[in-house]
Structure 1
Amino acid sequence: MVPFIGEEVDVGYDAARVVILPVPYEATTTYRQGCQHGPAALLDASDQLEYYDVELQREVCFEVGIHTHSPVADTREAPVRAQQMLQDIQTTVAEMVAAGKFVLGLGGEHSITAGIVAGYRQVYGDEPFTVVQIDAHGDLRDVYEGSKHNHACVMHRILEMGLPSLPVGIRSVCRQEAELIQQRQIPVIWDHEMVGDPQWCDRALGAITTEKVFLTVDLDGLDGSVLPGVGTPQPGGLTWHQLTGFLRRLSQGHQLIGADVVELCPIPHSVVSEFTAAKLTYKIVGYYADGVKF
């Protein structure tokens, strides 16, 4: 895989503050397949990004130091068992976090987030952090299609780690998920309640009770007209400026410790989705850098 933004930007692992971790894992997709090719497509598209961020008025990539790691849990050529995938990711991420890196995972299906968060949990121990979830779906099923590691179950696995979550943009859940949300009093920011409500961002940020946050972005959380290349599309969703505005305020009010961008499913003969995903990834790097004030 090519380095994020380009070889001339990659400073190597030791000098990097941000490590891009491709995880081209796909095993449980339930509608349109192809997200195992998402990381490579995003990295290829990132070569077309401008270094200069117009909003932040900086060439963030040269300030923060970025390195693209070799892929883990790669199913493009051979199957990878879920337990092995999670262990490989956790081990890799924990080593990076212990070395002071900001890890930004690229999926692959959403189930990889459990491994990334477990890596952070291993290093942080009892120190709490909130998992902020941008998504169309609740992903709170305990088991789906016979697997606890289905992409539809990832946030249930996060709850089992004892971590609070903030789901934003949700517009599709099953009855059992709705009951769990009520029982656990999970502060969901429902997509339909965001429409016409200029205060939704304030409500979302006000629901976060920890200083530190981990961000997971399932790309189907965005409006399909903005990013159509996903495996499980849903009508509605966040606009580009709704999402980036929320993420900037999130990074200004809380310490962003890590992130992932998952479920990119490239569409043949179109580069819109992968380029948008690449730009979002760079925005997350920029907001992280802006929040820690390099």
Structure 2
Amino acid sequence: MAAFSTVDDVRERLAATGYLAGESIATTAFLADRLEKPLLVEGPAGVGKTELAKAVAVATGAELVRLQCYEGLDEARALYEWNYKKQLLRIQASRDDSAWDQVHDDVFGEDFLLDRPLLAAIRRAEPTVLLIDEVDKADLEMEGLLLEVLSDFQVSIPELGTITAVRRPFVVLTSNASRELSEALKRRCLYLHMDYPTPQREREIVLARVPQAAERLAEQVVRTVTALRGLELRKAPSIAETIDWARTLVALDRDELDSETVRGTLGVVLKNVADQERAVEALSLG
């Protein structure tokens, strides 16, 4: 059953959670829901890719199931594994060798299966948002595992057979584009590229998330962050850090972002010493 009725419905309900979605984001999210296709969101770190999945979950009243990808992630951490300790106890508790066939069937039954995020999302009958975060950090073998899940929304377990989704989750995959994803994976998804918002949109985001901030202060924060992103930094400020900076200034009772305040609070948006030094020089804060 579709969670959203129209593109405008997506925009309005995401906005109610504090996530201001532009036309392309709202349209693609609507189509992912209506067509029941996974949504691959690619772009720089900190542009709101993960937050989109969280906002969809809140807006639709769904449970968020998150799989954080990393190098070396395997099936046992992503899909399922057997509870070996419990299996061993069951085997030790059975002293009748003639009953081994029964014991074998028991220890590879549902009671001994540990659901990991992919299987947990597939098996849920309630509305679910499955977030596969930073999929570009996973190995190519992990992409192969995702293909079966994202193609037919089913999981094959040799001892139990094929488990098919009772209710398809809303799937969001995020990628920072640190490597090229396989064409097979991309074919199974709708694609959305996200970049940093325009200054006007980011100002609206700041005011929505930090309503205590004055409009002038929000404008100054966004203007400064935009200037910082134009520098060659190791890590450009994310939207979340822009919001944190505005909250910091409100907590300090600042109604204006002057040079002294920027120097004193620069660590909120730049977490690298070299980046801070470059910013101080570029913004003439010395």
TM value normalised by structure 2: 0.27
- Relative to the length of structure 1, the TM-score reads 0.26
The structure with the largest alpha-carbon Rg is 2
Q: Which has the higher helix share?
A: 2
